[in-house]
Amino acid sequence: MIERGDRVAFYAPLKPPHHPVPSGDRRMARALMAVLAERGRKVELASRLRSFDRDGDHQRQTRIQRLGARVADRLITGYRNRPASQRPNAWITYHAYHKSPDWLGSAVRDAFNIPYLLVEASFAPKQAGGPWDLGHRAAEAAIRGADVTLAMTEVDQAGLSPLIEPPSRLMRLPPFLDPTRYRDAFRARERHRRDLAERYGLNVDQPWLLAVGMMRDDVKRHSYALLADTLRRLDDRDWQLLIVGDGASRSVIEKLFASFGSERVKYAGILDENELPACYAAADVYAWPAIREAYGMALLEAQASGLPVVAGREGGVADVMRDGITGMLTTPRSPEALASALANLLDDPIRRRDMSAAALEFVEQERSLGHASTLLDRALIDAAAIHEVKAGRRRAVP
């Protein structure tokens, strides 16, 4: 049984919770650790080892695998040198998939006979035999061997279900956050709007669009390009866009929006996580094409601040909003559809207000720490019970 006061080893192979570069993945890792602690568990970051390989480099993946084996051995030795009461009672790995497999968790599980859980694991059969085949096979083994796997989106759940038997070992944990500071920012919306207007030269009498995303040369750049294409279709309307984010592709992305001029498009650069709620709360619509978005933590943060969202219906985006209620989902990668949805909200302040209220309620009731805490607590209890059954079966084998 996993109870209050027990120790949980936590590991995030894609990006450690204290990584210097902000991202939704980092924020979710921190939120998971906060939920575990809120239930009275002692949460320990097991390792900062990052197993991520962006480019499909087999040699690099092999080196990381060997390093993972050494790190796992050191962890096991370190845990064995502790009193039994100071060793982990369970292991949780967050966001393991073919590009960032978990080379640590199963080894520690086997050494100490503890429950092993995966959160936001994903599996894509098409990766078999490809550039990330080593990580693909490792991810499959981890998913099959985990006592409980928690999927955050319907897309991930569909990909995981063929590997998990019985189905009760696959559970749902929708993306979540602590809404407190976002709700507080909403209550101070007018003050934040005045402050941001002064800081970035925004017109308080015009609707503000907001986009938050790192400027990487990948799907983020593609989303920015589609957003620029979308806004060209709204040239006859009053709007200003504030972009929060930075990165290696900033100059490329700035060229995409150059035709709008500096009066319409403003750049805030990278902001501290504590500064983001003010931006969400002060804006009128969050606009993001969401190309190949896993689910989009910023979309959830926007709604927690009372900001309606317009986004493309890709990946798990539908799992973090209520279409037609807290925002609008559009045909994926369609600038025409995005422009139509944005025009609808730009022209209708009453609908924006209604969606704002619905977004606040949705996050508070269905995507808060308390809601996630209940689900994660049940997963830990179930994982412990499943693990005991499996251990009993192993002992019964002659």
Q: What is the mean pLDDT of residues 158-182?
A: 96
Is 232 within a domain? yes
Query: d(Cα 352, Cα 360) in Å, to the nearest integer?
Result: 12
Same domain, 152 and 22: yes
Is 222 within a domain? yes
Give the pLDDT band of residue 397 (cuts 50, 70, 90): very low
Same domain, 260 and 318: yes
The domain that holds 225 is classified in CATH as 3.40.50.2000
Same domain, 203 and 232: yes
**Other residues' Cβ atoms within 10 Å of the Cβ of residue 377:** 17
Q: What is the mean pLDDT of residues 116-130?
A: 97
Give the pLDDT band of residue 32 (cuts 50, 70, 90): very high
Same domain, 243 and 335: yes
Do 313 and 44 form a contact (C-beta atoms < 8 A)? no
Q: How many residues does the chain have?
A: 398
Q: What is the pLDDT of residue 391?
A: 72
Q: Quick one: which of 268, 217, 218 has its CA closest to 240?
A: 268
Q: Could you identify the residue written with the tokens 């002060």? A: 282
Query: d(Cα 43, Cα 59) in Å, to the nearest integer?
Result: 33
Same domain, 197 and 208: yes
395: pLDDT strictly greater than 80? no
**Other residues' Cβ atoms within 10 Å of the Cβ of residue 318:** 16
Is 2 within a domain? no
Same domain, 90 and 239: no
Query: d(Cα 4, Cα 245) in Å, to the nearest integer?
Result: 39
Q: Could you identify the residue written with the tokens 């508070």? A: 364
Q: What is the pLDDT of residue 250?
A: 98
Q: Which structural domain range is residue 375 located in?
A: 7-176+368-396
Same domain, 184 and 269: yes
Q: What is the pLDDT of residue 22?
A: 83
Tokens representing 177? 């956050």
Same domain, 199 and 337: yes
pLDDT > 70 in the chain, percent: 97
Q: What is the mean pLDDT of residues 26-51?
A: 94
Give the pLDDT band of residue 390 (cuts 50, 70, 90): confident
Same domain, 254 and 382: no
Three-state SS string over the chain comes to CCCCCCEEEEECCCCCCCCCCCCHHHHHHHHHHHHHHHCCCEEEECCCCCCCCCCCCHHHHHHHHHHHHHHHHHHHHHHHCCCHHHCCCEEEEECCECCECCCCHHHHHHHHCCCEEEECCCCCHHHCCCCCHHHHHHHHHHHHHCCEEEECCHHHHHHHHHHCCCHHHEEECCCCCCCHHHHHHHHCHHHHHHHHHHHHCCCCCCCEEEEECCCCCCHHHHHHHHHHHHHHCCCCCCCEEEEECCCCCHHHHHHHHHHHCCCCEEEEECCCCCCHHHHHHHCCEEEECCCCCCCCHHHHHHHHCCCCEEEECCCCHHHHCCECCCEEEECCCCHHHHHHHHHHHHCCHHHHHHHHHHHHHHHHHHCCHHHHHHHHHHHHHHHHHHHHHHHHHHHHCC
Q: What is the pLDDT of residue 316?
A: 94
Query: d(Cα 88, Cα 117) in Å, to the nearest integer?
Result: 13
Q: What would the pLDDT profile of 304-351 be if each residue is shown by its tens digit?
A: 999 999 999 999 999 999 999 999 999 999 999 999 999 999 999 999
Calculate the average pLDDT of the chain.
Answer: 95
Amino acid at the residue 272: D
Give the pLDDT band of residue 77 (cuts 50, 70, 90): very high
How many structural domains are present in the chain? 2
Is 26 within a domain? yes
Distances (CA, A) of 278 to 44, 110, 183, 309, 361: 31, 46, 10, 16, 18
Q: What is the pLDDT of residue 376?
A: 95
Give the pLDDT band of residue 42 (cuts 50, 70, 90): very high
Give the global pTM.
Answer: 0.91
Amino acid at the residue 247: G
Q: What is the pLDDT of residue 38?
A: 87
Same domain, 58 and 83: yes
Our measurement of the distance from residue 370's CA atom to the centroid of its chain's CA atoms, rounded to an integer in Å, reads 18
Q: What is the pLDDT of residue 166?
A: 95
Q: What is the mean pLDDT of residues 150-161?
A: 96
Is 1 within a domain? no
Q: What is the pLDDT of residue 36?
A: 93
Tokens representing 303? 């709604």
Do 329 and 312 form a contact (C-beta atoms < 8 A)? yes
Is 84 within a domain? yes
Same domain, 169 and 185: no
Q: What is the mean pLDDT of residues 180-201?
A: 98
Q: What is the mean pLDDT of residues 85-94?
A: 96
Same domain, 249 and 336: yes
Query: d(Cα 157, Cα 170) in Å, to the nearest integer?
Result: 8
